[in-house]
């Protein structure tokens, strides 16, 4: 070993330890001191472990001590340190791996600092290692491991032999990513040991990290020991397994369909030259008890097939009719793709063949008679399973699986058995292989399985298995298959092209670009294409032959590594590739069927995902959040939306993917050249024929069934419309240029940028991943996209029952769609005359209080009422009226004003006596402001209405008990108001009024109630808070706006009539014109129709709804509220007044 400055500059030197004199050592094999080569234990058997060349008192194979605990690592100050120790081969016979751990007690000790982190990533930790070139494995202190990561340790099957010959069991194992100062990074496997004095780096690991360099002239080549297991040893020791007639346990019963009638085929002629040889072969089979002569009648008789082979004759059964009635158990036959993942760390391989194949299965008596066949020498029946029975491959596979169940490193497909050895080194792999091979031989002897000695491929670095070449590097194509393509002549007919494509189908898993040139050849196999070999076909064939010479090796699947799938689709096919750490594991592609080529682009991308997931099912099923990458963005949101929002085909596809945990990601197309190439020149769809092997049928049948299921989906069947209307939708779609642009975009695919979409269909951009076409109709999910010319008619039909807005929208959403459909339906329904007439009343608006007066009697509210035939006028006063005329009202009001003074504002309703010309004249003469509220809206004069209710109660109660009404009113005026500290008379006049109740004279003194304004404001605020709980503000209306108005709000279920706002006379009071007449109404009696004016030209949908709405006149629209009493001066000078029954009309 060279110790150069360039290679060890990171290594720190430790000072030399003081030399010590060693006493004569004790022999580790016998425990005594003796001369070299004269150990008394040599040739003796240990009484403890029954191994050779040592005594029991020094036996090291027991492992645990008396306490049952593993031996601890020697303490750092142990005195047993020796120089490097070599392993004794005779003592290393344990089934577990034993590694030698050395140390150096003299000379220079080298240490190095390495950045370490777990394989999965994390923050690196700097650890100190001692370089030990004599160690066969690297060790890591448990304390150092805990500094690197908190992940659990991997189990370890190794044993560590220390320099003092003691053996310890590691706590566990781990693999860390180590990095030196010069940037070299490697994955190093460590055995983790508790209480170790230091972490060791083996010579192999040091060389891998470029810490040490070995010169060839100083390398000592050791002679390897002869392998313990050889082919000659196997053939000699297990001779019985390779000779004689095989017989697997149990008998097989052939199940027949009772509905199938037995068939007795006629006898076939056999060429005379081979008859004698045939007779000898029949006699031989009969002597071996494989067949038996039949004399009695049998229901089934099949024909015989004689195959002439070099130096021998083979007899087979032709059970063509019998196979039609056999019930198969459909046992899954493994494929090379399912076996390959278990070969990830294999380095040594052997292949053996089950002797005589199906003949190892014994038939029961009843089944044996079913296999009766004709010969020139009579009838015979098979006692063993003959070749040709349709259920034979599955039953033979099942029995082999049962016979070899539980064997490690042994896989079987059909009658081919592969044995492999795994390990980090060749020695480990070879030992693993030998153990597995011996286990297979013992199990074969136990179960009666016979192997073919002539077909053994023993302990090879690579073997041909099931049409592939398996090696430590991975999976490669069989050279014979490649040679068959390279030497294949130019096809002369369609069948020749199909044979060529069949071989190409096999090679597709190895060469991602092989299918790129298959499209011209595949077109030759179309039914409607005449076979004509052209120069482009020669070019395609030459390219295929050239590509087969550079077939890559597929890596073995490792279940511990992350999996990534790339998939893509094109106009002609689907492609996918499965990778781990960027290395290909498997390729897959197929061509699209004729029906699939008419799918929308989004319906082609999703099948690519389904195809990739199901083709690589054995790799990803059961894993979580596996990445599947596509270069098409629209499929990504499909997997986040509810399934019911997708088109029918996409719904089926998503249901197929429910069993997988997939994370669909977007990857730009230029980065997906493999799957893109596969999809653009995919392999032809495999057809299931009678010549196809059963395991191929099992793989392909379900996929073909799903394709047929997708092709049979009829989205029109989910649309509940008549055939005539469906046909009209098709015709209108074809006539609509916008829809033709949209259909073409759906089929060819949407661009990645919205700005590249034509302006006329840009509004469909948000729904691009939900659109599909079928039979000239565009669908969004399961809903029909309606052409422009038909929308007006369908809006009317959606609202034919005059349901509410949301109900009509929900009904329309079930079957049809176009952009802004809900908005157009809403506007049309809001303008529907029939619905507008029957609208419910508006909700009440928030309470609007009058401004608080600054002095008493500043604002006065008045109202008139009748009780028991008597008329009254209410302020704070109650005045009895002779009648309800304006003249009487003015007459009674003047004494009140004379007593209390003239108010600044008088608030009243729009009664005829208050809205008359005489009362307006009275207001002008007495100089007060008269405010009237909206007609039929008594809440606007709430104070007066409340006073009327109180006055009516006082008058009724006084009359009921024969009391004086005025005395009751006097007592009420002097009673304190709830939630206020004063009575009404105190708030108006300051002093109390004298009543019949006894009272102290001091209470009659005037006292100003200064807290009244705050108390009134607080009371109003509380009342407004409770009132507004169920109130909602209504939007303001503007002059000229078209509205619906209740001309008779006092009538229950009065219709809403169309009108136009002419003026706004108060914050919530408007003048509305209806049919040439004007009304004053509160905002609560008006509804917005969302149009500007009735004189405008209505929209198409509104006009259509108005056309079908009933036009029956409303008999209740006969009276109007009047704001002022109009007058007309006749020619004679007489003033003409409007009658009182027209009091609601205004001008």
- Structural domains of the chain, ranges and CATH numbers in brackets: 12-218 (2.40.70.10), 232-472 (3.10.10.10), 481-552 (3.30.70), 555-713 (3.30.420.10), 719-830 (1.10.340), 859-935+946-1024 (3.30.420.10), 1042-1141 (no CATH)
**Look-up: residue for tokens 């029946």?**
381
**DSSP of 320-352:** HHHHHHBPP--PPPP-HHHHGGGGTTEEEEEEE
Identify which of 550, 711, 527, 679 has the alpha carbon closest to the alpha carbon of residue 611: 679
Residue 627 bridge partners (DSSP) = 564, 663
DSSP string, 687-733: ---TTS-HHHHHHHHHHHHHHHHHHT--GGGGS-S-HHHHHHHHHHH
State the pLDDT at residue 417: 93
Strands 905-908 and 929-932, bridge-based pairing: parallel
Among residues 1070, 1125, 1067, the alpha carbon closest in space to that of 920 is found at 1125
pTM score of the predicted model: 0.41
In the chain, which residues have pLDDT < 70? 1-25, 35-38, 42-45, 47-48, 50, 61-108, 163-165, 214-228, 480-481, 484-485, 503, 506-517, 548-553, 634, 644-645, 648, 669-722, 868-876, 1090-1147
The strand pairing partners of 111, in sequence order, are 12, 130
Hey, what are 512's tokens?
Answer: 């991602």
What are phi and psi for residue 708, nearest 5 degrees? -65, -35
- Neighbouring CB atoms inside 10 A of 275's CB total 14
Cα(208)–Cα(185) distance, rounded to whole angstroms? 9
H or E element in which residue 918 lies: helix 917-926
What is the rounded distance in angstroms from the CA atom of residue 100 to the CA atom of residue 615?
47
- Confidence at residue 18, expressed as pLDDT on a 0 to 100 scale: 39
CA dihedral (358, 359, 361, 363) positive or negative: positive
DSSP state of 302: B
Residues 6+ positions from 823 with CB-CB distance below 8 Å: none
Rounded to a whole number, what is the distance in angstroms from the first to the last CA of the chain? 120
Task: Indicate the length of the chain as a whole number.
Answer: 1147
**Which pLDDT value is given to residue 420?**
93
Please tell me the distance from the alpha carbon of residue 294 to that of residue 372, in angstroms, as a whole number.
8
CA–CA separation, 342 vs 354, rounded Å?
21
Give the separation between CA 110 and CA 207, rounded to whole angstroms. 14
pLDDT 10s digits, 260-293? 899 998 888 888 788 888 888 899 899 989 999 9
pLDDT in tens, 717-770: 555 566 777 888 888 888 889 999 998 888 888 887 888 899 999 999 888 877
Q: Using alpha carbons, list the distances in angstroms from residue 270 to 236, 318, 688.
A: 42, 14, 32
Please, are residues 523 and 530 in contact by the beta-carbon 8 Å criterion?
A: no
- Residue 646, token pair as written in the block: 């997708």
Give the Cβ contact number of residue 248 at 10 Å. 22
* Residues sharing a CB contact under 8 Å with residue 940, sequence separation 6 or more, in sequence order: 909, 933, 934, 1068, 1069, 1082
C-alpha pair distances (Å), 100 with each of 72, 87, 220? 16, 7, 18
């Amino acid at each position: 070993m060279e110790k150069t400055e360039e290679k060890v500059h990171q290594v720190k030197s430790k000072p030399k330890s003081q030399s010590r004199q060693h006493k004569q050592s004790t022999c580790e094999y016998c425990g005594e001191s003796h001369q070299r080569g004269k150990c008394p234990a040599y040739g003796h058997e240990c009484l403890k472990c029954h191994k050779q060349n040592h005594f029991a008192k020094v036996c090291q194979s027991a492992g645990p001590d008396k306490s049952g605990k593993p031996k601890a690592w020697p303490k750092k100050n142990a005195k047993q340190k020796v120089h490097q120790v070599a392993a004794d081969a005779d003592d290393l016979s344990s089934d577990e791996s034993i590694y030698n751990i050395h140390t150096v007690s003299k000379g220079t000790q080298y240490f190095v600092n390495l950045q370490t982190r777990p394989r999965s990533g994390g923050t690196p930790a700097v650890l100190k290692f001692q370089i030990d070139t004599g160690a066969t494995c690297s060790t890591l202190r448990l304390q150092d491991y805990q500094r690197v990561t908190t992940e659990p340790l991997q189990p370890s099957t190794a044993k560590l032999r220390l320099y003092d010959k003691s053996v310890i069991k590691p706590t566990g194992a781990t693999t860390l990513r180590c990095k030196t100062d010069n940037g070299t990074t490697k994955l190093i496997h460590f055995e983790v040991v508790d209480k170790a004095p230091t972490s060791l780096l083996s010579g192999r690991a040091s060389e891998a990290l470029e810490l040490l360099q070995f010169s060839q002239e100083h390398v000592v080549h050791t002679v390897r020991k002869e392998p313990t297991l050889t082919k000659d040893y196997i053939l000699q020791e297990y001779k019985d397994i390779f000779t004689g007639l095989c017989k697997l346990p149990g008998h097989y019963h052939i199940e027949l369909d009772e509905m199938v009638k037995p068939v007795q085929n006629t006898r076939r002629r056999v060429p005379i030259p081979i008859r004698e040889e045939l007779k000898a072969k029949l006699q031989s089979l009969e002597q071996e008890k494989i067949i038996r002569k039949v004399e009695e009648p049998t229901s089934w008789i099949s024909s015989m097939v004689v195959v002439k082979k070099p130096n021998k004759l083979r007899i087979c059964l032709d059970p063509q009719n019998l196979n039609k009635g056999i019930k198969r158990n459909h046992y899954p036959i493994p494929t090379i793709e399912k076996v390959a993942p278990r070969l990830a760390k294999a380095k040594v391989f052997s292949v053996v063949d089950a002797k005589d194949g199906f003949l190892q299965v014994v038939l029961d008596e009843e089944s044996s008679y079913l296999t009766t066949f004709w010969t020139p020498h009579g009838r015979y029946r098979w006692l063993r399973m003959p070749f040709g029975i349709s259920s034979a491959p599955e039953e033979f596979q099942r029995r082999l699986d049962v016979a070899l169940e539980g064997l490690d490193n042994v896989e079987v497909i059909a009658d081919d058995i592969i044995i492999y050895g795994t390990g980090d080194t060749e020695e480990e792999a070879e030992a693993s292989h030998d153990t597995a091979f011996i286990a297979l031989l013992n199990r074969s002897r136990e179960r009666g399985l016979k192997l073919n000695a002539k077909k053994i491929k023993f302990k090879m670095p690579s073997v041909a298995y099931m049409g592939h070449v398996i090696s430590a590097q991975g999976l490669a194509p069989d050279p014979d298959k490649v040679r068959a393509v390279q030497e294949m002549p130019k096809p002369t007919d369609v069948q020749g092209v199909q044979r060529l494509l069949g071989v190409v189908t096999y090679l597709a898993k190895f060469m991602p670009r092989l299918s790129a040139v298959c499209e011209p050849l595949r077109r030759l196999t179309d039914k409607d294409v005449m076979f004509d070999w052209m120069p482009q076909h020669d070019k395609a064939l030459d390219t295929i032959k050239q590509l087969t010479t550079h077939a890559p090796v597929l890596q073995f699947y490792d279940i511990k590594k992350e999996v990534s799938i790339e998939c893509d689709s094109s106009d002609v096919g689907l492609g996918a590739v499965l990778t781990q750490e960027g290395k290909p594991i498997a390729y897959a592609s197929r061509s699209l069927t004729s029906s699939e080529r008419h799918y929308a682009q989004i319906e082609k991308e999703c099948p690519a995902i389904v195809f990739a997931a199901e083709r690589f099912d054995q790799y990803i099923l059961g894993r979580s959040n596996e990445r599947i990458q596509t270069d098409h963005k629209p499929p990504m949101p499909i997997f986040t939306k509810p399934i019911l929002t997708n088109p029918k085909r996409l719904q089926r596809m998503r249901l197929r993917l429910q069993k997988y945990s997939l994370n669909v990601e977007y990857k730009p197309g230029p980065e997906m050249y493999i799957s893109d190439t596969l999809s653009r020149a995919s392999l032809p769809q495999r057809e299931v024929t009678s010549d196809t092997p059963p395991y191929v049928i099992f793989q392909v049948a379900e996929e073909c069934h799903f394709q047929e299921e997708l092709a049979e989906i009829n989205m029109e069947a989910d649309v509940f419309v008549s055939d005539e209307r469906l046909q009209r939708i098709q015709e209108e779609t074809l006539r609509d240029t916008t829809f033709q642009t949209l259909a073409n975009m759906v089929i060819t695919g949407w661009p990645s940028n919205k700005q590249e979409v034509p302006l006329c269909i840009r509004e469909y951009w948000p729904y691009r991943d939900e659109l599909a076409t079928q039979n000239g109709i565009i669908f969004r999910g399961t809903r029909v996209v309606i052409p422009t010319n038909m929308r007006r008619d369908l809006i009317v039909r959606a609202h034919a029952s005059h349901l509410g807005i949301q109900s009509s929208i929900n009904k329309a959403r079930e079957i049809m769609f176009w952009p802004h459909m809900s908005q157009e339906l809403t506007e049309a329904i809001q303008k529907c005359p029939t619905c507008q007439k029957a609208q419910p009343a508006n909700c009440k608006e928030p309470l609007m209080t009058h401004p608080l007066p600054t002095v008493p009697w500043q604002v006065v509210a008045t109202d008139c009422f009748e009780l028991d035939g008597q008329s009254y006028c209410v302020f704070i006063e109650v005045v009895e009226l002779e009648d309800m005329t304006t003249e009487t009202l003015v007459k009674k009001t003047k004494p009140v004003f004379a007593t209390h003074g003239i108010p600044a504002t008088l608030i009243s309703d729009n009664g005829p006596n208050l809205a008359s010309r005489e009362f307006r004249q009275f207001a002008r003469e007495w100089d007060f402001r008269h405010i009237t509220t909206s007609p039929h809206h008594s809440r606007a004069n709430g104070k007066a209405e409340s006073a009327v209710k109180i006055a009516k109660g006082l008058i009724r109660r006084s009359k009921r008990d024969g009391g004086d009404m005025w005395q009751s009113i006097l007592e009420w005026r002097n009673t304190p108001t709830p939630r206020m500290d004063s009575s009404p008379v105190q708030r108006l006049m300051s002093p109390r009024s004298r009543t019949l109740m006894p009272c102290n004279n001091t209470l009659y003194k005037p006292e100003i109630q200064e807290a009244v304004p705050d108390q009134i404001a607080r009371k109003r605020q509380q009342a407004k808070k409770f009132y507004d709980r169920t109130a909602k503000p209504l939007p303001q209306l503007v002059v000229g706006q078209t509205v619906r108005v209740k001309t008779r709000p006092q009538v229950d279920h009065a219709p809403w009539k169309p009108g136009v706002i002419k003026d706004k006379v108060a914050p919530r009071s408007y003048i509305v014109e209806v049919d040439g007449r004007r009304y004053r109404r509160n905002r609560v009696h008006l509804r917005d129709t969302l149009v500007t004016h009735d004189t405008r030209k209505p929209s198409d949908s509104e006009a259509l709804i108005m056309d079908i709405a009933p036009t029956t006149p409303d008999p209740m629209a006969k009276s109007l509220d009047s704001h002022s009493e109009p007058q007309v001066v006749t020619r004679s000078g007489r003033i003409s007044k409007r009658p009182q029954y027209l009091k609601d009309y205004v001008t």
